[in-house]
């Protein structure tokens, strides 16, 4: 019986050390910040956030360009960079996600897409095409087009669109923002319909800039735009602050915010959040 007594005695002394080890392991897993470790959020992490309605968003933009002293080209550059950074985080350039089709509308949302295309080129996305069916002649937009041409980025016409959908892994929807009013008119209704067809049938990934085109800013998809009844982008990049329609985003989809250019005083005035952006990133994941 003596060997059995020795084993019992051994475990008797070992148990306190096991308990300490289990406790420390639990603390590391469930309270990582207690030990001041720089642990990144997991992909499943979700962040609560405040939204800003359409009318307030328009007024906020006006104040950014008056009281805050920003110019439209500055805001467009920051927006496009945020879109490109978000895409890089979710769909980094690989053999399966380096081809991009950027759909640009005639307004500022389209300008955000043009800026994003330039940054994506610099980030290593080598096959980028732009479809810009109704270009704007304002200098800021013509300048963006010239920049993209100097980078060797191709602008396509309607006859090339279907082939571009086929060849692209990523589709950037920068057709319409929060100024859109239904109904969806040609040629944009057919562009949206074809985009959604490729997403459904070929699993093309859609990235929406600020507002999924055709969504009501406050309500999300409505009967006023039947073309987008089932539209759910794979990645939504909200700009400055999320809009109420972002609450309609499917919980399995990704949602990023790009707004690292406003201070807390301005945010408090407008009732929006300034989240903790990691490192030097211009974007933060909300969902």
Residues annotated in a binding site = 108-112, 173, 177-183, 210, 213
Query: Do 114 and 144 contact (CB within 8 A), yes or no?
Result: yes
Provide the annotated binding site for K(+). 109, 173, 213
Tokens of 282: 């211009």
DSSP character at residue 179: T
Of 248, 81, 112, whose CA–CA distance to 175 is shortest?
112
**Residue with the two structure tokens 């800039």:** 209
Backbone angles phi, psi at 143, to 5 degrees: -65, -40
Provide the annotated binding site for (6S)-NADPHX. 108-112, 177-183, 210
Q: Which helix (H) or strand (E) holds 99?
A: strand 99-104
The backbone region for 103, taken as left when phi is positive above 0, alpha when psi lies in -120 to 50, beta otherwise, is beta
End-to-end CA distance of the chain: 61
Tokens of 149: 């041409």
Backbone angles phi, psi at 100, to 5 degrees: -125, 135
Cβ contacts of 207 within 8 Å, gap of 6 or more? 83, 86, 87, 91, 170, 171, 172, 173, 233, 234, 235, 236, 237
Burial of 217 (0-12, 13-18, 19+ CB in 10 A): buried
Q: Is 93 helix (H, G, I), strand (E, B) or coil?
A: coil
């Amino acid at each position: 019986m003596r060997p059995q007594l020795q084993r019992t005695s051994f475990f008797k002394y070992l148990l306190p050390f096991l308990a300490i080890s289990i406790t420390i392991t639990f603390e590391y897993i469930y309270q990582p910040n207690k030990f001041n470790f720089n642990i990144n959020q997991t992909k499943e992490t979700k962040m609560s956030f405040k939204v800003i309605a359409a009318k307030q968003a328009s007024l906020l933009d006006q104040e950014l360009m008056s009281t805050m002293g920003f110019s439209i080209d500055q805001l467009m550059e920051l927006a496009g960079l945020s879109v490109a950074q978000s895409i890089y985080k979710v769909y980094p350039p690989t053999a399966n996600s380096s081809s991009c089709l950027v759909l640009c509308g005639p307004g500022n949302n389209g300008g955000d897409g043009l800026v994003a295309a330039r940054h994506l080129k610099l980030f290593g996305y080598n096959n980028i095409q732009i479809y810009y069916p109704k270009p704007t002649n304002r200098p800021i937009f013509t300048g963006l087009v010239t920049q993209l041409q100097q980078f060797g980025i191709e602008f396509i016409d309607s006859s090339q669109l279907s082939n571009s959908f086929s060849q692209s892994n990523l589709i950037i929807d920068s057709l319409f923002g929060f100024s859109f009013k239904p109904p969806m008119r040609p040629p944009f209704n057919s562009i949206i319909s074809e985009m959604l067809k490729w997403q459904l049938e070929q699993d093309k990934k859609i990235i929406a800039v600020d507002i999924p085109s055709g969504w009501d800013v406050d309500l999300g998809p409505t009967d006023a735009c039947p073309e987008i009844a089932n539209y759910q982008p794979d990645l939504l990049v909200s700009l400055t602050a999320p809009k109420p329609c972002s609450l309609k985003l499917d919980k399995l989809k990704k949602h990023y915010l790009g707004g690292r250019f406003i201070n807390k005083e301005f945010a408090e005035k407008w009732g929006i959040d300034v989240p903790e952006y990691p490192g030097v990133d211009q974007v933060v994941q909300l969902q």
